[in-house]
Amino acid sequence: MSRRPGYPTYGKRFVGNTEKKEVHDLDNEKTGTYQCQIDEIIKAGHAKTFNPDTLAQAHSEGYDNCAYCIGGSSR
Ligand SMILES: [Zn+2]
């Protein structure tokens, strides 16, 4: 899997899970059970993108790294 065109992520690289406050890198998405679960996040209405589309922006909004696609989670 990879970036998704259209609503709600519009081909952006970094996608946040507003429920867990975690950010995912879709260019390195891990699709195993209990890994990124991007489609589940989108289905649940918990996906958000960042402007600009950078990891630094996600961090500045209080998002923590996904342990699977980014690593270095602080939780
Ligand atoms: Zn992830």
Tens of each residue's pLDDT in the chain, 75 residues: 689 999 999 999 999 999 999 999 999 999 999 999 999 999 999 999 999 999 999 999 999 999 999 998 766
What are the tokens at 37? Answer: 């679960």
Are 29 and 14 spatial neighbours (Cβ–Cβ below 8 Å)? Answer: no
pLDDT for res 73: 76
The model's pTM is 0.93
Query: 15 C-alpha to center of ligand 1: Å?
Result: 9
pLDDT for res 19: 98
Query: 14 C-alpha to center of ligand 1: Å?
Result: 9
Of the candidates 75, 70, 69, 64, the residue with the CA atom closest to the CA atom of residue 18 = 64
Query: 68 C-alpha to center of ligand 1: Å?
Result: 5
Query: 52 C-alpha to center of ligand 1: Å?
Result: 19
